Amino acid sequence: MKKELIESLVKQDRLRPRQLDLEKVKSMLKHAEMTVNVIKKIPLDDDSAIVIFREAYESIRQLGDAEWWLNGYEPRDHEVSMDILKEFDIKEKVSLNYLPRFKRIRNDANYRGFKITVAQAQEIMEFWEKCCKDIVGILNKRVKK
């Protein structure tokens, strides 16, 4: 991410400079993967779709948080956390364009009472498989350097 944009995000209090904490980053990555592994075990239906979607979203967001912490910043909102993920050079990079949509779906469910559909929950889980596994791999390599 460009230095000017980062400086602007800091001025807007959307990012806060922090000291690199590799243990925190490792914990975030482990937690994100663990959460996804648990929600994969939940049978997907009309009632469970919201739990699966929300928890998958939070795991994806944590990957963005981990990237910011590796760069010496603490994100202060979800948008910043999700936007940094678009910087990753992964095989399915074009799929990263779905991130703002996932944020809107999550906000609609959390703040407007919209129902998460089975199809939306399936979509975010497929996104995890296509994109997030690669992102986790990249982040884990950076943590081990």
Q: Please give the residue that has the higher pLDDT: either 145 or 93.
A: 93
- Mean pLDDT over 59-75 rounds to 96
Distance CA 54, CA 35 (A): 11
Backbone angles phi, psi at 10, to 5 degrees: -65, -45
* The pLDDT value given to residue 45: 98
pLDDT at 144 over 90: no
The radius of gyration computed from the CA coordinates of the chain, to the nearest angstrom, equals 15
SS3 16: strand
- Mean pLDDT over 22-41 rounds to 96
pLDDT at 145 over 70: no
Distance CA 1, CA 87 (A): 7
* The pLDDT value given to residue 35: 97
* pTM for this model (two decimals): 0.94
Distance CA 130, CA 18 (A): 30
User: pLDDT for 81-128, tens place per residue?
Assistant: 999 999 999 999 999 999 999 999 999 999 999 999 999 999 999 999
DSSP output for 44-72: PSTTTHHHHHHHHHHHHHHHHHHHHHHTT
Backbone angles phi, psi at 29, to 5 degrees: -65, -45
pLDDT at 2 over 90: no
* The pLDDT value given to residue 1: 72
For the chain, give every domain's residue range: 3-144
* The pLDDT value given to residue 78: 87
Question: For the stretch 14-47, what's the b/e string if a residue is b when 16 or more beta carbons lie within 10 angstroms of its beta carbon?
Answer: bbeeeeeeeebbeebbeebbeebeebeeeebeee
* The pLDDT value given to residue 64: 97
CATH class, range 3-144: mainly alpha
Cβ proximity of 64 and 81 under 8 Å: yes
